[in-house]
């Protein structure tokens, strides 16, 4: 039942996503980016306030990098888009709720190889770079719901691999949400102890906005 509710929410949220004319930044990815959109407090909303210009938002709850249909697939969210900067996250839904994947090592390898050069995430990033976009990949924070569990190690592996990917291309930046989040601060999280509160979404925007400034002046 919870999955059905989330799916309906995701499909309804799709109706309010889009890329305004003249947008130089587009946010894509999963529910971490899309959360608080109904209240006007998503990451894209907060970035738009900070930048003083339109920001596109194609992120959708439940979206995956390697699966999903239509906008529930993160590469499909960005299909055909050509903008100066794409801010994107993803991978959590591929790993399953609470990293419930039967073999998370295999899922990680499909997402991104140990050296950060192959897999679905590097392929997506290479495609965006080939269109002339600079990419900011937003790496996940540690949420209270999963802090101290075995999931933490899985996401640490993902972070290291993403770092290697970013190091190999000056047009790719890794933004680590753990730099502005603490699982010990409940004000940063929604009632489910996983997704960001409006303050949390604002923190993510505050992390990303300074990274955008030099990219938008070139």
pLDDT digits (tens, 9 = 90+) for 3-25: 444 455 444 444 457 999 999 99
CA 151 to chain centre: 18
pLDDT at 103: 95
Q: How many CB atoms lie within 10 A of CB 161?
A: 23
pLDDT at 2: 43
Domains of the chain as residue ranges with CATH: 2-216 (3.40.50.1110)
Pairing assessment for the beta strands 85-88 and 55-57 based on DSSP bridges: unpaired
Whole-model pTM: value is: 0.92
What are the structure tokens assigned to 127, written together?
């495609």
pLDDT digits (tens, 9 = 90+) for 61-106: 999 999 999 999 999 999 999 999 999 999 999 999 889 999 999 9
Q: Residue 112: pLDDT above 80?
A: yes
Decide: 58 and 71 in contact? Cβ < 8 Å. Answer: yes
């Amino acid at each position: 039942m919870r999955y059905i509710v989330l799916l309906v929410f995701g499909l309804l949220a799709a109706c309010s996503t889009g890329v305004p004319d003249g947008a130089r930044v587009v946010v894509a990815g999963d529910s971490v980016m899309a959360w608080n959109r109904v209240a006007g407090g998503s990451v894209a909303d907060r970035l738009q306030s900070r930048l003083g210009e339109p920001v596109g938002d194609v992120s959708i709850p439940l979206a995956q990098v390697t699966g999903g249909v239509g906008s529930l697939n993160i590469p499909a969210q960005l299909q055909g888009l050509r903008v100066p900067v794409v801010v994107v996250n993803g991978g959590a839904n591929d790993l399953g709720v609470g990293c419930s994947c039967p073999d998370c090592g295999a899922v990680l390898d499909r997402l991104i190889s140990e050296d950060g050069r192959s897999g679905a995430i590097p392929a997506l990033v290479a495609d965006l770079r080939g269109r002339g976009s600079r990419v900011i990949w937003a790496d996940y924070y540690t949420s209270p719901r999963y802090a101290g569990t075995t999931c933490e190690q899985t996401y640490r592996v993902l972070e290291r691999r993403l770092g290697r990917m970013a190091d190999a291309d000056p047009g790719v930046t890794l933004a680590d949400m753990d730099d502005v989040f603490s699982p010990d601060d409940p004000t940063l999280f929604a009632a489910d102890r996983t997704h960001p509160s409006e303050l949390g979404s604002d923190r993510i925007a505050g992390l990303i906005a300074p990274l955008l400034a030099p990219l938008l002046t070139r």
